[in-house]
Structure 1
Amino acid sequence: MQIPHFPESKHPLIKSLFHHSDQELLTLFQRHRSEGKYFTAIFCRYSPIVYTLVRHSARSPVQAEYLFALTWRHIYHELGGMDLREDYGLESTSFQNQIINLTAVCINQADLPPVESIHYNLKVAPPPLWCYLEMALEQLPPAVRLMVIMAGTFHWSETRIAAYLQAEGEMITPAQVRTELQEGYELLEAALPDDIRVVYLGVEAKNREESDLFAVPVLSE
């Protein structure tokens, strides 16, 4: 079993946080929820442990990667209310144990779909990017969100999306779908934290001319 390598762990923005203790990273994450680098640093620190546990519990590599992403999404939401201050100096061990316990919960409760139904690529959308993409997706207008999911998750063409919407009573052409998708991806990118765009899209937020999110599938469970 080979543990995946995550290039974000080498990014200067993330490497600059590695000297922080678990407690410090957790506190920074809780105090600065609009920034994604602190969760990404936690992910880079503990992803080998989580992946090892998950991989031994899944039947296939595809299901393992999907469960790995679901587990980190669960961890993201749990970190917001986690408190290590009562552990009297054992913060590292305590934090690691809590990560392991959260992983065990996800493994035990997992009801994974068959491989052919999973639309997830770990290399394209690592868990931190997935988490923030999903939150950004929730901010899109419903109609635009639907089109973005059709295009990003299921790889539907503009013609197929237009045909589906027309069957639902919407008067829309493939050209209009193309325009809506362009606007949708721009809104999606704008809703991402600046540091997540820098780390995962490889661009500085102040110098954006076109969207790179077309290469990143928007995922849904």
Structure 2
Amino acid sequence: MQIPHFPEANHPLVKSLFHHSDHELLTLFQRHPDAGKYFTVIFCRYSPIVYTLIRHSARSPVQADYLFALTWRHIYYELGGLNLTTPESGEPALTMQNWLINITAFCINEIKLPPTEAIHYSLQATSPPLWCYVQQALDQLPPVLRLIVLMAQTFHWSETRIAAYLQAEGEAIAPNEVANFLQEGYRMLEDKLPTDIRAIYFGEDLAQS
């Protein structure tokens, strides 16, 4: 399995931060939770190491890609509480690389992957940083809108099937209303994404965001 290339590494917003140290990027990430560029730079810097560790443990490329994404999602949530400052005990300081290797090993050993045919994630379609922030935005949507978006995007259900499912769950939504709910869900989802993530992945102009 070849180590994938991620185009976001060439985005000016990302490249402009390459000079920062790991410690600086971590501090910026923790201080600016509404910005996605710092996590994206950390991802671009260390994705080859993480992917190399993972590809040797997965049974298939699809499972490797999915475990890679799940690992970075775990990293994303753990970074908020990470401390790389030098301990007073005289022990060697924890480095970002060592921490990431440990986290990756944990995910390899602990995450139970579904069969290949049950995985709907595509690494080529959705890079892990974008996936993390989309999931974070999804969590902020009203429950019904979130469910409609997930059924349409993850399971590729038709509007009729979505409406039938919702009606069975007690939601009085007609098939012709599903499209409107979907558009509203997509609009809210985009609004809840960090502006720099939209710039990096969707090409939006930051000045207009």
Q: TM-score range, shorter-chain basis?
A: over 0.9
In the alignment, the residues of structure 1 paired with residue 158 and residue 35 of structure 2 have an alpha-carbon distance, to the nearest angstrom, of 33
In the TM superposition, structure 1's runs of 4+ consecutive aligned residues that sit over 6 Å from their partners are: none
In the alignment, the residues of structure 2 paired with residue 80 and residue 166 of structure 1 have an alpha-carbon distance, to the nearest angstrom, of 40
**Per-residue deviation, residues 186-208 of structure 1 (Å, max 9, x unmatched):** 00000000000000111225658
The normalised TM-score by structure 2 is 0.94
SS of the aligned residue for 1:169 comes to coil
In the alignment, the residues of structure 2 paired with residue 30 and residue 56 of structure 1 have an alpha-carbon distance, to the nearest angstrom, of 31
Greater mean deviation of Cα atoms: 13-22 or 166-175: 166-175
Say if 2:84 is the partner of 1:84.
Answer: yes
Say if 2:143 is the partner of 1:142.
Answer: yes
In the alignment, the residues of structure 2 paired with residue 13 and residue 101 of structure 1 have an alpha-carbon distance, to the nearest angstrom, of 29
In the alignment, the residues of structure 2 paired with residue 150 and residue 206 of structure 1 have an alpha-carbon distance, to the nearest angstrom, of 33
Matches within 5 A, 1:89-168: 94-168=95-169
Show the counterpart of 2:19.
Answer: 19
**Per-residue deviation, residues 166-186 of structure 1 (Å, max 9, x unmatched):** 222322222200000000000
Q: How far off is 1:145 after superposition? A: 0.6
Matches within 5 A, 1:15-54: 15-54=15-54
Identity of aligned residues (%): 68
SS of the aligned residue for 1:101 comes to helix
User: Which structure 1 segments of 5+ residues have no match?
Assistant: 209-221
In the alignment, the residues of structure 1 paired with residue 56 and residue 36 of structure 2 have an alpha-carbon distance, to the nearest angstrom, of 29
Amino acid at match of 1:190: D
**Per-residue deviation, residues 142-181 of structure 1 (Å, max 9, x unmatched):** 0111000000111111111112112223222222000000
Matches within 5 A, 1:164-183: 164-183=165-184
SS of the aligned residue for 1:63 comes to helix
Amino acid at match of 1:175: N
**Per-residue deviation, residues 104-163 of structure 1 (Å, max 9, x unmatched):** 000010200001111101011111001000110011000111000000111111111112
The normalised TM-score by structure 1 is 0.89
In the alignment, the residues of structure 1 paired with residue 208 and residue 157 of structure 2 have an alpha-carbon distance, to the nearest angstrom, of 30
**CA-atom RMSD, angstroms?**
1.6
